[in-house]
Copies of this chain bind each other. A is one copy, B any other.
């Protein structure tokens, strides 16, 4: 398809598409003559992902470029590629390991990982920005007077394990590894508000079931 058709199909303006092309967030189309290029389904898919990251995820352009570099790096094994793409997404600042609150939170997170048997996550440990973010979150909740210990984290971890199984099953429905890693990034960015709403709706349902209206 031509640029105008790509814009039509994606509902992204031509000016924005040209900006993404200039910034290297979208691969150039196949030149058909001096002024025109041809785009395909992979451009449309990538364009949707870039827009989702920028408009919904509010992720800076430089970070989007870094995430996409990992998505496109086929020298990486699948877990690493997926991990690298997701790890490049913005996370909170790293917690200070000298802070006693952070040391306590680290111990609880480690005990939780052992309890639910996430041996791979335990082995990665501090290497993973997500692990470090979780420690930081648990430490700040403790500081705010809402401490969470391993026993309280574990049942939620088990539920999120089932959610992750679904996430990866959905991802595997995509054709090809690039499309799969793209789907995982989109899910990480876009799916948070869906889960947040579903959880609160479930709380309403369960509260009325227990206590009546």
Chain A residues at the B interface, C-beta cutoff of 8 Å = 10-11, 44, 48, 51-52, 55-56, 77-80, 82-83, 86, 92, 118, 120-121, 124, 128, 130-131, 133-134, 137-138, 140-141, 143-146, 148, 152-153, 155-157, 159-168, 170, 184, 186, 188, 190, 192-213
In terms of DSSP, what is the predominant structure of the interface of chain A? Answer: helix
Name the residue on B nearest A162 (C-beta): B159
In the complex, are the beta carbons of A156 and B201 less than 8 A apart? no
In the complex, are the beta carbons of A83 and B143 less than 8 A apart? no
In the complex, are the beta carbons of B137 and A193 less than 8 A apart? yes
Chain multiplicity (copies): 2
Given the complex, which residues of B lie within 8 Å of A128, measured CB to CB? 201, 204
In the complex, are the beta carbons of A130 and B168 less than 8 A apart? no
With A134-B198, A198-B134 given, is the CB distance from A161 to B77 under 8 Å?
Answer: no
With A77-B212, A202-B163 given, is the CB distance from A197 to B137 under 8 Å?
Answer: yes
Q: How far is the CA of A182 from the CA of B52 in the complex (A)?
A: 35
Contact of A201 among B56, B131, B196, B205 (CB under 8 A): B131
